[in-house]
Amino acid sequence: MRNLFKKSALFLVLFLFACKLHKDDRPTTKTPIVAPQEQEIITPKASYDFLETRDLAVLNQHKEKTKIALFLPFSGKNKELGWHLYNSAVLSLFDNDLNNNLELVLIDSGETPQEAAKAFKEVVKQNIKIVVGPVFSTSVEAIEQDVKENDIVAISLSNNPKLVDKTTKKGGIFLAGIMPEAQIEKIVTYAIDQQKGSFAVIAPNNQYGLIMTDLLKKTAKRKDAEFIISEFYEANAKDFKGIAQRVVSAFKVPSHLAQGGGNKLKKDFALKDSDRIYPKIIFIPESGKLLPKILEELKAANKDEREFQIVGSAQWDDASTLTDPNLVGTWISAPENSKFHSLEQSYFQTYNKFPPRITSIVYDSVAVISDLVEKKKGVKLEIGDFTAYSLWPKNGFQGVDGLFRFLPNGLVQRNLAMLQVKRDRFETIDKPIEKFPRY
């Protein structure tokens, strides 16, 4: 009987969440907003086990709850990601909202900034003050004005540093993605500690590639390291032979051997190969189909068998990385994986599929909101409740992705680890700092 009640409760919860989708936000095609494969997640027996973590005795339909809008892509080309993020939010709700303080409201953010701006009007109409989403930077910009004018707090999944400072005293947008600055700071610091203080970059010729390259140049200079060369490629590039050869053979000479800086040698000086500073770190912020081609060409170009370390961005923190033998031994800067593995197992037991790595951000966001709502005891949350949180001695929230905290300028600060790719796992080779200083 108890098991039957659990099943009924889960069906009811999922049905009520789905009913929150606004009519105007449904796609114009005949495709239903709840895809059939997403409905299947409630049929396996394992799907009901995660209700064990929630005290069903406190379920009270008359209790006034804090509404949380899940402003995610539930239709269009990114709908599969949107439903994965929703699943993660539900898991977090049942794991963390033990006193039934929260109500999740689904609102489809659509595919375009225009659709996002239109759909966000429903958040305003329902007077919802806490939002998880949107996913993409263009949608963040589209909702900024409504967020600020209505004192809404939105925890976006963006990691675009150009979107910082979109906050006011009562509301604003947080950037909860893994920020490029945090990744680059960890990479450069750890590389220097390992006596590998010379850097090269092979990056896509787009906003992300340019941002990562510029950050690496500036960080290397600030830490008195050497930046040797940067090479960019287009999205449709097919031949990386020239790029690989230039990067592997690029070098600088020590300043005491050069005239006026750069690589121009002093008069009559015979340069030895041992005087040349070659890249010890080759950073590649790419995770798509082009990555194997780049790695193959770097290996072929290294005829002199120079020692260099391949380093990737947090994009590599994905199960697909472990399937590429060329990536074994490479480094990435990302959160430690142990807690995500636990979430991954819980997710699979519940939904019979594996979650994308980004789902941890939504899980942690719902957990944070639940914690703050419980502490406020019925008082409505404002942006200051997020930024003022300072639990000694760590001074931040402990989540699936490790320690993090919300800063007044909208950034979500994280302490990252350095991971090495093994044949079957990511191994931590440098742990994150365990606490934040007070600010």
Q: Are residues 75 and 207 in the same domain?
A: no
Band of pLDDT at residue 269, cut at 50, 70 and 90: low
The tens digit of pLDDT for each residue in 195-242 reads 999 999 999 999 999 999 999 999 999 999 999 999 999 999 989 999
Alpha-helical regions (H) of 126-206: 137-149, 180-193
- Between CA 196 and CA 207 the distance in angstroms is 27
How far is it, in rounded angstroms, from Cα 200 to Cα 278? Answer: 9
Residues 282/198, Cβ–Cβ less than 8 Å: no
- Cα 227 to chain center, whole Å? 26
For the chain, percent of residues with pLDDT exceeding 90: 70
CA distance 246 to 272: 19
> Quick one: 210 and 270 in the same domain?
yes
169 burial type by CB count under 10 A (0-12 exposed, 13-18 middle, 19+ buried): exposed
On whether residue 151 sits in a domain, the answer given is yes
How much is the pTM? 0.83
One domain for residues 235 and 315: yes
Q: Report pLDDT for 61.
A: 54
Quote the number of domains for the chain. 2
6 and 152 share one domain: yes
| Residue 426 falls inside a structural domain | no
Residues 79 and 197 in one domain: no
Does residue 273 surpass a pLDDT of 90?
no
Which is higher by pLDDT, 424 or 91? 91
Residues 162, 290 within the same domain:
no
Residue 437, pLDDT score: 84
pLDDT tens digits, one per residue of 95-124: 999 999 999 999 999 999 999 999 999 999
What pLDDT shows up at residue 49? Answer: 40
Could you give the strand order of the β-sheet that contains 412-414, starting from the edge strand earlier in sequence? 397-399, 402-406, 412-414
CA angle, 194 as apex, 198 and 358 as ends, to 5°? 85
Residue 253 and residue 263 in contact, taking contact as beta carbons nearer than 8 Å: yes
C-alpha span between 275 and 226 (Å, rounded) = 14
* 198 & 321 share domain: yes
422 within some domain:
no
152 and 255 housed in the same domain: no
* 423 is a domain residue: no
Domain co-membership, 238 together with 377: no
> Given a cut of 50, is residue 30 above it in pLDDT?
no
pLDDT above 80 for 259:
no
Lowest-pLDDT range, 89-103, 177-191, 274-288, 350-364?
A: 274-288
Which pLDDT score, from 0 to 100, does residue 389 have? 81
pLDDT recorded at residue 34: 33
> Does 186 lie in the same domain as 171?
no
Q: Which domain holds residue 146?
A: 2-178+338-415
Q: At what angle do helices 207-222 and 180-193 cross, to 10 degrees?
A: 40
- 229, β-bridge pairs: 200
